[in-house]
């Protein structure tokens, strides 16, 4: 057993980026997640003999207690699993639209999108998937009883934990934002008598809810008193959720999408996420490009990624949605042939304006020939265990604290994931993402996501577990981590902690984080014809990579935020 903290002097110094960071190294398991308590919950399970899936379930329930902005019981998520025996599965516990949802539910009589209807209050809430998904993962791929894996979360809710500054700050912000949402303000903001940083935060209502789930499993949440109170809370705020909606919720085991990038196997989340398909298609578009003489975050580098990103996000707007409701041309969009056709008009010396990048049309899609054999406030965490099993989980309420509706008497928030549907063809959602028919609202349909839990493997062995929150920036964040490591040779902690930029086709703008682009490079890019805008709040990446020298695992929490990693 080993736990070593090492200071690495980063290679990226030579790239003009100061990133000297501590790494977390472990041979028997590593958990990297938003907060220390959640990491410790996972490590406790690993130490007691649980596998990475058991630990991931424990971390998820712990985050529902310690990170109420995004960790959840009333939301949904995706879990990507790569087992040491070669099995690869994706657990989809994305929220579903309620039975009474309909495509124009967020439009007024003259067909205009009604502000805030899809993001605040009852109509914003999709049927939560988390409890069902965690149960499915545990039953199929875990090795421990629910009773055991839920213990750390129940203890955290009952005994409380000292509120970190970032959480106390968020509660202060929520106190004003959630006016009218009395239960939310009672539970998280003590009716305006705010919790102070460092104060113990106990959640007796949530502990009661967790204990019920611990005892009765999925039925404890989707049936009986919790389900009844959930319907009541939805109705109180204008929602349409019914007991039937809850009873009929199903989580699914899906086949991950896969691709390759410079000899590495890339495994990611299939629909209803757009993340995996967009990520792999962007990697396919980048693969023919030579990075040897490209300087990191130079105009040339930013141009390469931005052009690739625009093309992938244009196709996302038309072709991606819930594959239980439409035929997503997945194999084609994942093919190298699609990537090369998509990049046919790419010119390394110029800008292709978003207005002249159209989503692929039917006949272009039909023209792609596949080789005969051919058979993506949220939070992300990564877990590995001593057997080589790896789990990558992204979970969310959508916006920070979701719909602001807290289930009365049960202590947990409900999502506002309905905003991830396209309320009206061609209109941007709150992340500026354009959607169309494929992502129109329908009863029981899952809204398109950008969450991109991803795992990279080499010769069948996991080398990187990665993912991020950040809405539409999730996919380009994961892309940049891979690009930083594979094409620029950065160690994982640098790849995670250097600044990032983002293009999503519309708006036709390169967004950049603090320090991501030098003033000189901005000038070059503007002269080329690019528009540039600063943007704060790129997602908290929590990654784990295989250590090349000692063979164990390096945990790489995102130090730009308050995230953590623990190893043993």
Q: Which residues are catalytically annotated?
A: 378
DSSP at 256: P
User: Of 307 and 420, which has the nearer Cβ to ligand DON?
Assistant: 420
Q: Which stretch binds ligand DON (CB under 6 A): 242-250, 469-477, 515-523, 528-536?
A: 469-477
User: Of 129 and 411, which has the nearer Cβ to ligand DON?
Assistant: 129
Q: Residue 121: left (phi > 0), alpha (psi -120 to 50), or beta?
A: left
User: Of 53 and 451, which has the nearer Cβ to ligand DON?
Assistant: 451
Residues within window 515-554 making contact with ligand DON, judged by CB under 6 A: 539
Q: Are 237 and 121 in contact (CB under 8 A)?
A: yes
Minimum distance from CB of 263 to ligand DON (Å)? 29
Minimum distance from CB of 294 to ligand DON (Å)? 29
Residues within window 25-84 making contact with ligand DON, judged by CB under 6 A: none
* Residue 385 to residue 52: CA distance in whole angstroms: 5
Size of the site for ligand DON (CB under 6 A): 14
Q: Rule CB under 6 A: is residue 398 a binding residue for ligand DON?
A: yes
Helices (H), 259-381: 275-286, 299-319, 330-333, 336-342, 362-366
Minimum distance from CB of 543 to ligand DON (Å)? 16
Find the binder of ligand DON among 307, 377, 385, 508 (CB under 6 A).
377
Q: Which stretch binds ligand DON (CB under 6 A): 5-13, 120-128, 246-254, 447-455?
A: 447-455
Can you tell me whether residue 278 is helix, strand or coil? helix
Minimum distance from CB of 112 to ligand DON (Å)? 23
* Residue 341 to residue 356: CA distance in whole angstroms: 15
Q: Which stretch binds ligand DON (CB under 6 A): 149-157, 166-174, 194-202, 465-473?
A: 465-473
User: Of 378 and 406, which has the nearer Cβ to ligand DON?
Assistant: 378
Residues within window 241-300 making contact with ligand DON, judged by CB under 6 A: none
Q: Rule CB under 6 A: is residue 378 a binding residue for ligand DON?
A: yes
Minimum distance from CB of 29 to ligand DON (Å)? 26
* Residue 564 to residue 568: CA distance in whole angstroms: 14
Minimum distance from CB of 276 to ligand DON (Å)? 12
Find the binder of ligand DON among 449, 454, 476, 504 (CB under 6 A).
449
Q: Rule CB under 6 A: is residue 450 a binding residue for ligand DON?
A: yes
Q: Rule CB under 6 A: is residue 230 a binding residue for ligand DON?
A: no
Could you write out the three-class secondary structure of 1-53? CCEEEEEECCHHHHHCCCCCEEEEEECCEEEEECCHHHHHHHHHHHHCCCCHH
Q: Are 163 and 196 in contact (CB under 8 A)?
A: yes
Q: Which residues contact 368 (CB under 8 A, 6 or more apart)?
A: 332, 335, 337, 338, 341
User: Of 265 and 540, which has the nearer Cβ to ligand DON?
Assistant: 540
Find the binder of ligand DON among 105, 320, 391, 451 (CB under 6 A).
451
Q: Which stretch binds ligand DON (CB under 6 A): 205-213, 333-341, 402-410, 448-456?
A: 448-456
Q: Rule CB under 6 A: is residue 396 a binding residue for ligand DON?
A: yes
Residues within window 411-430 making contact with ligand DON, judged by CB under 6 A: 417, 420
Q: Is the peptide bond before 125 cis (omega within 30 degrees of 0)?
A: no
Q: Are 421 and 440 in contact (CB under 8 A)?
A: yes
Task: Spell out a b/e string for 454-472, using b for 16 or more CB atoms within 10 Å of the CB, else e.
Answer: bbbbeeeebbbbbbbbbbb
Structure-block tokens of residue 426: 């061609």
User: Of 310 and 316, which has the nearer Cβ to ligand DON?
Assistant: 316
DSSP 130-165: HHHHHHHHHHHH--S-HHHHTHHHHHHHHH-EEPPH
* Residue 186 to residue 181: CA distance in whole angstroms: 9
Q: Are 393 and 79 in contact (CB under 8 A)?
A: yes
Q: Which stretch binds ligand DON (CB under 6 A): 118-126, 194-202, 246-254, 444-452?
A: 444-452
Of the candidates 521, 566, 470, the one whose C-alpha atom is nearest the C-alpha of residue 31 is: 566
Q: Rule CB under 6 A: is residue 322 a binding residue for ligand DON?
A: no
Q: Rule CB under 6 A: is residue 164 a binding residue for ligand DON?
A: no
CA 208 to chain CA mean position, Å = 28
The residues binding ligand DON (CB under 6 A) are: 377-378, 396, 398, 417, 420, 449-451, 469-471, 474, 539
């Amino acid at each position: 057993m080993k736990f070593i903290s090492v200071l690495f002097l980063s290679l990226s110094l030579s790239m003009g980026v100061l990133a000297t960071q501590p790494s977390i190294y472990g041979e028997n398991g590593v958990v990297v997640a938003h907060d220390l308590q959640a990491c410790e919950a996972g490590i406790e399970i690993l130490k007691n003999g649980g596998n990475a899936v058991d630990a991931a379930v424990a971390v998820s329930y712990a985050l529902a207690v310690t990170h109420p902005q995004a960790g959840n019981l009333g939301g949904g998520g995706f879990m990507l699993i790569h087992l040491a025996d070669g099995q690869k599965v994706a657990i989809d516990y994305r929220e579903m639209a309620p039975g009474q949802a309909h495509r124009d539910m967020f439009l007024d009589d003259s067909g205009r999108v009604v502000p805030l209807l899809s993001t605040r209050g009852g109509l914003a809430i999709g049927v939560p998937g988390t409890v069902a998904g965690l149960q499915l993962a545990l039953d199929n791929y875990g090795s421990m009883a629910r009773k055991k894996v839920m213990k750390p979360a129940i203890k955290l809710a009952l005994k409380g934990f000292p509120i970190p500054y970032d959480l106390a700050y968020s509660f202060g912000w929520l106190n004003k934002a959630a006016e009218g949402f009395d239960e939310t303000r009672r539970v998280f903001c003590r009716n305006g008598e705010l919790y102070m940083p460092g104060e113990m935060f106990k959640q007796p209502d949530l502990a009661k809810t967790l204990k019920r789930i611990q005892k009765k499993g999925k039925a404890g949440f989707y049936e009986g008193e919790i389900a009844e109170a959930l319907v009541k809370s939805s109705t109180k705020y204008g929602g349409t959720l019914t007991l039937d909606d809850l009873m009929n919720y199903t989580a699914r085991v899906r086949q991950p999408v896969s691709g390759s990038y410079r000899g590495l196997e890339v495994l990611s989340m299939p629909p209803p996420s757009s993340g995996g398909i967009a990520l792999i298609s962007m990697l396919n578009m980048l693969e023919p490009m030579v990075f040897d003489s490209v300087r990191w975050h130079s105009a040339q580098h930013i141009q390469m990624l931005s052009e690739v990103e625009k093309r992938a996000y244009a196709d996302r707007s038309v072709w991606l949605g819930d594959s239980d409701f439409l035929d997503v041309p997945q194999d084609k969009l994942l093919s190298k042939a699609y990537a090369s056709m998509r990049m046919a008009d790419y010119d390394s010396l110029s800008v292709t304006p978003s207005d002249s990048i159209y989503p692929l049309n039917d006949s272009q899609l039909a023209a792609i020939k596949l080789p005969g054999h051919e058979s993506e406030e949220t939070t992300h965490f990564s877990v590995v265990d001593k057997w080589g099993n790896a789990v990558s989980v992204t979970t969310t309420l959508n916006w920070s604290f979701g719909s602001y509706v807290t289930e009365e008497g049960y202590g947990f928030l409900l999502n506002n994931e309905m905003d991830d549907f396209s309320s009206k063809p061609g209109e941007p959602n709150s992340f500026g993402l354009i959607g169309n028919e494929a992502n129109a609202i329908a009863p029981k349909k899952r809204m398109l996501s950008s969450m991109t839990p991803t795992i990279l493997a080499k010769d069948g062995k996991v080398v990187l577990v990665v993912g991020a929150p950040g809405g539409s920036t999730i996919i380009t964040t994961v892309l940049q981590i891979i690009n930083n490591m594979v094409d620029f040779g950065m160690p994982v902690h640098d790849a995670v902690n250097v600044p990032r930029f983002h293009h999503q086709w519309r708006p036709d703008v390169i967004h950049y984080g603090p320090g991501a682009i030098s003033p000189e490079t901005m000038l070059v890019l503007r002269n080329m014809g690019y528009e540039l805008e600063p943007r704060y709040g790129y997602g908290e990446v929590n990654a784990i990579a295989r250590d090349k020298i000692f063979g164990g695992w390096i945990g790489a929490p995102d130090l730009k935020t308050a995230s953590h990693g623990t190893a043993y």
